[in-house]
C-alpha cells in the first residue's frame, strides 16, 4: 500500500556514512510530527502520510541502533489523538500490526527489546494482541530498547503514578512522606529505562505536546522544520551532534 510514497528524494540522498559518535544521549524521545501535512502537500490522503511516517520510523530505529543509543521512545499515538476522524484512528490502530509483521524478525536479529508505555488496555483488541506479541517475541533481548508511547499522555502518566503510590500506602506497602523525586520514577511508565537525554520534534512545532513531561525536566530539546516522513538518518545524526555540543549543568555553575 502506498508504494513510492515512503521517502522523498531528500531522504534517498542521505546515504553518506557518518563518523562514530564520541558523545551521545543514552535515551532519545522522538515526537514524530507532520505526517498529515506531508500527505497534504502531495495531494494524498492523510493515511498515506501515516504510512510514510511508519517507514521513516523504521529507519530511525535502525539508525538509533547503529549509533549505539540505549533507548528510543517513539510518540506513536497520544491520548488526544482519539479526537481525529474515526477512519484515521482505525488506520493508526492497525499500523502496529503492519509494522511488526514486517519488522519483528529484524528487531529480534538486532537484539532489540520492545516496550510500550501508555494505557494500552483501552486500545482495540487486535492492537492489544499485537502489543502482547511484540513484547513476548523480544522479551529476552538485551540490546537497545524501543519504547512505543501508545495511547500515552504525560499528565495521565503522572496521575497514574500518584494512584499507584496511593494504593501502596492504602495497602501498607508505602508510607505517607516516603515519596521523593527519586522514588517517583519507579511509579512511572518509564521505570527501569535510562534517563531521557534528548527530545527531538519534527515539523516545526516547538512544544512537548504532553510527551514525557516528568522525564523531560532536564532533557535537551531539538526542533526541526523537517516533516516526519522526510526525517532521515542524517537528521538524527545532526541532532545527536548538536546534543554533544551542549553544556548540561543541571542547575550547577559551569
The yes-or-no answer on residue 230 being catalytic is no
User: Mind giving me the DSSP string for 139-190?
Assistant: TT--S-EEEEEEEE-HHHHHHHHHHHHHHHHHTTSS-TT---HHHHGGGSTT
Question: Within 10 Å of residue 220's Cβ, how many Cβ atoms?
Answer: 18
Q: Is 38 known as a binding-site position? A: yes
Q: Among the options 33, 65, 197, 235, which is catalytic?
A: 33
CA atoms within 13 A on the CB side of 205: 16
Helix (H, G, I), strand (E, B) or coil at 9: helix
The yes-or-no answer on residue 81 being catalytic is yes
Q: Is 37 known as a binding-site position? A: yes
Q: Is 232 known as a binding-site position? A: no
Q: Is 26 known as a binding-site position? A: no
Q: Is 201 known as a binding-site position? A: yes
Q: Is 34 known as a binding-site position? A: yes
Q: Among the options 22, 65, 66, 81, which is catalytic?
A: 81
Which grid coordinates belong to 77? 499515538
Q: Is 46 known as a binding-site position? A: yes
**Burial class of residue 181 in the structure, from the number of CB atoms within 10 Å of its CB (0-12 exposed, 13-18 middle, 19+ buried):** exposed
Q: Is 220 known as a binding-site position? A: yes
CA 232 to chain centre: 15
CA 92 to chain centre: 15
Q: Is 10 known as a binding-site position? A: no
Q: Is 138 known as a binding-site position? A: no
Q: Is 68 known as a binding-site position? A: no
Q: Is 246 known as a binding-site position? A: no
Helix (H, G, I), strand (E, B) or coil at 71: strand
Helix (H, G, I), strand (E, B) or coil at 193: coil
Distance from C-alpha of 71 to C-alpha of 182, rounded to nearest angstrom: 20
Known binding residues are 33-38, 46, 50, 78-80, 82, 84, 201, 207-209, 220
Known binding residues for substrate are 34-38, 46, 50, 78-80, 82, 84, 201, 207-209
Residues carrying an active site annotation = 33, 81
Known binding residues for Mg(2+) are 33, 220
Amino acid at each position: 500500500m502506498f508504494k513510492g510514497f515512503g521517502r522523498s528524494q531528500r531522504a534517498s540522498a542521505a546515504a553518506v556514512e557518518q563518523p562514530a559518535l564520541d558523545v551521545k544521549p543514552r535515551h532519545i524521545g522522538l515526537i514524530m510530527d507532520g505526517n498529515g501535512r506531508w500527505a497534504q502537500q502531495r495531494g494524498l490522503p492523510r493515511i498515506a502520510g501515516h504510512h510514510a511516517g511508519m517507514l521513516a520510523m523504521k529507519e530511525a530505529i535502525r539508525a538509533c541502533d547503529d549509533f549505539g543509543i540505549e533507548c528510543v521512545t517513539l510518540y506513536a499515538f497520544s491520548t488526544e489523538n482519539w479526537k481525529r476522524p474515526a477512519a484515521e484512528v482505525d488506520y493508526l490502530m492497525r499500523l502496529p500490526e503492519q509494522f511488526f509483521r514486517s519488522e519483528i524478525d529484524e528487531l529480534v536479529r538486532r537484539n532489540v527489546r520492545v516496550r510500550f508505555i501508555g494505557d494500552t488496555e483501552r486500545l482495540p483488541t487486535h492492537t492489544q494482541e499485537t502489543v502482547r506479541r511484540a513484547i513476548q517475541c523480544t522479551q529476552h533481548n538485551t540490546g537497545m530498547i524501543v519504547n512505543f508511547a501508545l495511547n500515552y499522555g504525560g499528565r495521565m502518566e503522572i496521575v497514574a503514578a500518584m494512584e499507584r503510590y496511593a494504593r501502596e500506602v492504602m495497602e501498607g506497602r508505602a508510607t505517607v512522606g516516603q515519596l521523593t523525586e527519586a522514588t517517583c520514577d519507579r511509579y512511572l511508565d518509564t521505570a527501569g529505562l535510562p534517563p531521557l537525554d534528548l527530545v527531538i520534534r519534527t515539523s516545526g512545532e516547538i512544544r512537548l505536546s504532553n510527551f514525557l513531561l516528568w522525564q523531560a525536566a532536564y532533557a535537551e530539546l531539538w526542533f526541526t522544520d523537517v516533516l516526519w516522513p522526510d526525517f532521515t538518518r542524517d537528521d538524527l545524526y545532526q541532532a545527536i551532534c548538536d546534543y554533544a555540543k551542549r553544556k548540561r549543568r543541571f542547575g550547577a555553575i559551569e
